């Protein structure tokens, strides 16, 4: 039986392994982020200033001065209320396999129809595509529909704040495109054309002309679904004002923008509290990771057909090691309780020298317990079960360079 769109089982396993390594790398990055908050905030501030000043000036003095600007806001508000609360949950797993499926089963089959929609919208609403010089041919090419590069898709879901972190279903811009308009009237026409298209359904709208991003950028982002698409794959279209697009092109700060975006996304994770030491229920990171591994083990074990024994062995080894870690934590807590009891006795008899010594021991063991409870990855590294963040990063980059999914036509995605 031929694999859908040419992705072989071996290619899929290789891709899954690379993505899992990448996920671990981002987990390590997030765990270490609190120690680098000041550096991240500095990067965000320094890189944002250059964009913010230019975008703000163009937006305030040119875009908002358009006589049809307020009318466009009204149209967006009306549409937003109509689609509010609409289910846009893509039909895929919420893990690495789900991300692969989004490309293989959803994005690639949808790309041609999506491209035709963009072309028809441009033709009927006086829009245009952005253009880029092809370095190899020296010719200018129109930037129509494209696929988000796979490493960026992984980065996006792993840096998602809150409980949806790592959930492939939130990646709603793998198939995406941009249409540029010279004025707000034409931009409104483009929005209305897509909204009323008989084969597509508009499911979400984000009007950043009303609320620009922190760096000052403004556009209108819409998510659409092809009617009768069994995967319910969600695509994204950016409707952009020509003046803002030209301003961005003139900045030539691609590297600066990516540094700003990465710092901003990590800070967002920190600010929205997805990496607290403990949550309100007292669950530690060790507890959370162990529960996640046990869930994955049970799912892999219950899968029909041939079992992935290598995966099962890896998961079982990690589970057993973390169970040993929990035993170690319990032992340390018992030790701390004894020290606290001795401390209370020393306080009662006013043995101040002993109080100082015991208090120091209690503080030390508390710190050790907290570290064990909230650094399960470091524990696994120390036991030789997983590689260190530096080793995983090097391995991930090497694997991503080696992946070749030509048959899937994901050259641009990878």
**Domains present along the chain, CATH in parentheses:** 14-273 (3.30.460.10), 285-401 (1.20.81)
CA 25 to mean position of chain CA atoms = 13
Mean pLDDT of the chain: 82
Give the model confidence (pLDDT) of 291-339 as tens digits.
Answer: 888 888 888 888 777 888 888 888 889 999 888 888 888 888 888 888 8
**pLDDT of 146:** 92
Residue 347 scores a pLDDT above 80: no
How much is the pTM? 0.65
Task: Find the mean pLDDT for residues 388-399.
Answer: 66
SS3 of the chain: CCCHHHCCHHHHHHHHHHHHHHHHHHHHHHHHHHHHHHHHHHHHHHHHHHHHHHHHHHHHHHHCCCCCHHHHHHHHHHHHHHHCCCCCCCCCCCCHHHHHHHHHHHHHHHHHHHHHHHHHHHHHHCCECEEEECCCCCCEEEECCEECCHHHHHHHHHCCCHHHCCCHHHCCCCEEEEEEECCHHHHHHHHHHHHCCCCEEEEEEEECCCCCCCCCCCCEEEEEEECCCCCCCEEEEEEEEHHHHHHHHHHCCHHHHHHHHHHHHHHHHHHCCCCCCCCCCCCCHHHHHHHHHHHHHHHHHHCCCCCCHHHHHHHHHHHHHHHHHHHHHHHHHHHHHHHHHHHHHHHHCCCHHHHHHHHHHHHHHHHHHHHHHHCHHHHHHHCCCCCCHHHHHHHHHHHHHHCCCCCCCCCCCC
CA 392 to CA 6: how far, in whole Å? 29
Report the 10 Å Cβ neighbour count for 99: 27
| Model confidence band, residue 393 (pLDDT cutoffs 50, 70, 90) | low
More confident residue, 405 or 97: 97
| Least confident segment among 47-51, 232-236, 245-249, 368-372 | 47-51
**pLDDT of 157:** 86
| Model confidence band, residue 28 (pLDDT cutoffs 50, 70, 90) | confident
CA 15 to mean position of chain CA atoms = 18
CB 363 within 8 A of CB 343: no
CA 349 to CA 8: how far, in whole Å? 74
Beta bridge partners of 188: none
More confident residue, 192 or 273: 192
| Model confidence band, residue 131 (pLDDT cutoffs 50, 70, 90) | confident
| Least confident segment among 256-265, 339-348, 391-400 | 391-400
Length of the chain: 414
More confident residue, 134 or 368: 368
**pLDDT of 406:** 40
CB burial class (10 A; 0-12, 13-18, 19+) of residue 124? Answer: exposed
CA 3 to CA 110: how far, in whole Å? 18
CA 226 to CA 58: how far, in whole Å? 35
Q: Indicate the pairing of strand 220-226 with strand 200-207.
A: antiparallel
| Least confident segment among 69-83, 132-146, 274-288 | 274-288
Percent residues over pLDDT 90 in the chain: 28
Residue 206 scores a pLDDT above 80: yes
**pLDDT of 308:** 84
| Model confidence band, residue 371 (pLDDT cutoffs 50, 70, 90) | confident
Distances (CA, A) of 344 to 268, 341, 354, 355: 42, 5, 11, 8
| Model confidence band, residue 401 (pLDDT cutoffs 50, 70, 90) | low
φ/ψ (deg, to 5) at 2: -75, 135
CB 127 within 8 A of CB 181: yes
**pLDDT of 280:** 39
CB 210 within 8 A of CB 74: no
| Model confidence band, residue 277 (pLDDT cutoffs 50, 70, 90) | very low
């Amino acid at each position: 039986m031929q694999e859908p769109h040419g992705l072989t089982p071996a290619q899929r396993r290789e891709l899954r392994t690379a993505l899992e390594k990448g996920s671990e790398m981002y987990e390590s990055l997030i765990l270490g982020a609190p120690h680098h908050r000041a550096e991240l905030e500095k990067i965000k501030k320094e890189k944002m200033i250059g964009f913010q000043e230019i975008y703000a000036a163009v937006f305030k003095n040119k875009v908002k001065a358009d006589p049809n600007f307020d009318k466009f806001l009204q149209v967006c508000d009306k549409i937003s209320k109509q689609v509010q609360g609409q289910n846009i949950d893509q039909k895929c797993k919420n893990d690495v396999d789900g991300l692969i499926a989004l490309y293989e089963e959803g994005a690639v089959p949808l790309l041609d129809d999506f491209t035709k929609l963009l072309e028809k919208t441009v033709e009927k609403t006086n829009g245009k595509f952005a253009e880029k010089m092809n370095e190899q041919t020296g010719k200018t090419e129109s930037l129509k529909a494209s696929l988000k590069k796979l490493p960026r898709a992984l980065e996006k879901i792993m840096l998602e704040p809150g409980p949806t972190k790592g959930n492939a279903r939130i990646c709603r811009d793998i198939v995406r495109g941009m249409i540029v308009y010279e004025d707000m009237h034409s931009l409104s026409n483009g929005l209305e054309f897509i909204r009323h298209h008989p084969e597509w359904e508009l499911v979400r709208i984000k009007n950043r002309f009303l609320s620009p991003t922190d760096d000052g950028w403004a556009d209108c982002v819409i998510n659409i679904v092809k009617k009768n698409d069994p995967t319910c794959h969600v695509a994204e279209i950016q409707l952009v004002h020509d003046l803002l697009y030209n301003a961005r092109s003139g900045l030539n700060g691609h590297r600066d923008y990516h540094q700003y975006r990465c710092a901003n996304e990590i800070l967002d994770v920190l600010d929205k509290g997805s990496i607290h030491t403990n949550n309100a229920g007292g669950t530690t990171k060790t507890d959370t990771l162990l529960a996640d591994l046990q869930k994955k083990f049970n799912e892999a074990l219950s899968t029909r057909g041939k079992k992935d024994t290598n995966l099962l062995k890896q998961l079982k080894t990690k589970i057993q090691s973390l169970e040993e870690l929990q035993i170690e934590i319990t032992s340390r807590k018992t030790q701390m309780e004894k020290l606290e009891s001795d401390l209370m006795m020393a306080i009662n008899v006013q043995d101040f020298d002993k109080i100082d010594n015991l208090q120091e021991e209690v503080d030390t063991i508390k710190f050790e317990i907290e570290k064990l409870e909230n650094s399960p990855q470091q524990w696994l590294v120390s036991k030789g079960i997983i590689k260190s963040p530096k080793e995983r990063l090097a391995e991930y980059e090497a694997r991503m360079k080696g992946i070749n999914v030509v048959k899937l036509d994901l050259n641009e995605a990878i």
